């Protein structure tokens, strides 16, 4: 597995002028390690197998070469990006739109839980880039509204999650529907055996890239922990909101019931708060995320699963209200802040029964933590 070298300037990557102009307007500075390795390989037409966490710039790493490659004049799907969730489909589609604004590509998000009609009309208008979840993509193929015969590049984004969520049969069916002569790339946070097998089966002589955890911008997130009794956590959270004068805060709880309970308590205390979890409808989730993205909400409470793929650059603070179960969950949660070159703060609540687990977590995470003492205890 090849480690990514130090980032270069975007100007050194020989990017199409239209895309370079959009990147400049978006404020992108130096490319991230995964972009440095992946963009040239994909530009050369090579297959790719990349290990990269969310928040490392992996979407732009495949979006830039795809936008250079497609022909907007050909009103048919030329690139297929398969993702595990609706939220990620929308996020990836938005990023294609932003980076490709001067390429006039027509990108469309395809996902379940919504009517077929608008998606069918978007495909009929000549979508060139299709981003979607496996089940709904196959539905459109069966309905005759999606034709993959003109696809020249396929991306499996968050391939480990695609397999974890049971999509392996659907992914294989989709890949068999695409032309044999195509470019294929897999992006995965972990290199589990199932992902390796999928890469070996559907890629040819793939360039392999690994972005090690220490390369993933952990220095941009300050780690803080506070010791707090369970019955005091709501007051502790309120104290932190006042102390840090936070912009937007993402709070993690283990369960949907815990999310709803904390939302209710904070709302009764007059906070601008909302929640996302798996029991909400797609429309409710999208409406809530949009309000948070636009700054109408100060606090968003989420479960781990609901926040996977969440991409909101202005989250200033993450609070682990419940201690993360392991180092991987911790990394995922903390990765929601400190993005796009900005700094962030991650606060972890350590309850009276959490000390042994926290010591193990801290050792595995390999990052320094600073302890803060709450005023509600300091006054006692």
Secondary structure (H, E, C), 183-250: EEEEEECCCCHHHHHHHHHHCCCCEEEECCHHHCCHHHEEEEEEECCHHHHHHHHHHHHHHHCCCCEE
Q: What does the pLDDT read at residue 282? A: 63
Q: What does the pLDDT read at residue 286? A: 76
Q: How far apart are CA 151 and CA 180, in angstroms?
A: 10
Yes or no: say if 333 and 318 are a contact pair by the CB < 8 Å rule.
yes
Q: How far apart are CA 41 and CA 35, in angstroms?
A: 10
b/e map 56-87, b = 16+ CB within 10 Å: bbbbbbbbbbbbbbbeeeeeebbbbbbbbbbb
Q: What does the pLDDT read at residue 6? A: 43
Q: What is the CATH number of domain 217-378?
A: 3.40.50.300
* Phi, psi angle pair for 153, to nearest 5°: -145, 135
Q: Strands of 79-82's sheet, edge to edge?
A: 2-3, 207-210, 48-51, 183-188, 153-157, 79-82, 129-132, 107-110
Q: What is the pTM of this model?
A: 0.61
If you search the block for the tokens 């369970």, which residue do you land on? 230
User: Which pLDDT tens digit goes with each residue over 222-266?
Assistant: 899 999 999 999 999 999 998 887 778 999 998 889 999 999 999
Q: What does the pLDDT read at residue 13? A: 78
Q: Which residues of the chain have pLDDT under 70?
A: 1-9, 11, 27, 29, 54-55, 212-219, 278, 282, 305-311, 313, 328, 338-342, 378-380
- Say if 2-214 and 217-378 have the same CATH topology: yes
* CATH 3.40.50.300 holds for 2-214: yes
Q: What does the pLDDT read at residue 212? A: 61
Residue 348 structure tokens: 């972890």
Residue-range domain boundaries for the chain: 2-214, 217-378
Q: What does the pLDDT read at residue 335? A: 75
């Amino acid at each position: 597995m090849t480690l990514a070298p130090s980032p270069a300037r975007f100007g050194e990557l020989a990017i199409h002028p239209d895309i370079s102009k959009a990147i400049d307007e978006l404020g992108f500075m130096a490319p991230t390690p995964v972009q440095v390795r992946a963009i040239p390989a994909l530009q050369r037409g090579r297959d790719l197998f990349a290990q990269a966490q969310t928040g490392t710039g992996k979407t732009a790493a495949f979006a830039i070469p795809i936008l250079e490659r497609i022909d907007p004049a050909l009103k048919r799907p030329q690139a297929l990006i398969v993702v595990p969730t609706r939220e990620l489909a929308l996020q990836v589609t938005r990023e294609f739109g932003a980076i490709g604004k001067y390429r006039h590509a027509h990108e469309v998000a395809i996902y379940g839980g919504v009517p077929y009609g608008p998606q069918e009309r978007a495909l009929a208008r000549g979508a060139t880039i299709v981003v979607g979840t496996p089940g709904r993509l196959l539905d459109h193929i069966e309905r005759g509204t999606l034709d993959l015969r003109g696809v020249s590049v396929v991306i499996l984004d968050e391939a480990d999650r695609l397999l974890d969520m049971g999509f392996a049969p659907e992914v294989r069916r989709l890949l068999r529907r695409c032309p044999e002569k195509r470019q294929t790339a897999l992006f995965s946070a972990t290199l589990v055996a199932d992902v390796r097998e999928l890469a070996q089966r559907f890629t040819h002589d793939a360039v392999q890239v690994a972005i090690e955890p220490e390369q993933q911008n952990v220095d941009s997130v300050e780690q803080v922990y506070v010791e707090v009794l369970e019955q005091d956590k709501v007051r502790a959270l309120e104290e932190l909101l006042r102390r840090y004068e936070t912009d937007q805060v993402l709070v993690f709880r283990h369960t949907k019931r815990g999310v709803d309970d904390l939302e209710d308590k904070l709302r009764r205390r007059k906070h601008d708060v909302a929640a996302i979890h798996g029991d909400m409808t797609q429309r409710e989730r999208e409406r809530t995320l949009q309000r948070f993205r636009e700054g109408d909400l100060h606090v968003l409470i989420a479960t781990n699963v609901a926040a996977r793929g969440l991409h909101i650059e202005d989250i200033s603070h993450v609070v682990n209200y419940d201690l993360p179960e392991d180092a991987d969950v911790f990394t995922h949660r903390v990765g929601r802040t400190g993005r796009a070159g900005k700094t962030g703060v991650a606060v972890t609540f350590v309850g009276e029964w959490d000390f042994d687990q926290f010591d193990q977590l801290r050792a595995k995470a390999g990052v320094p933590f600073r302890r803060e003492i709450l005023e509600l205890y300091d006054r006692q």
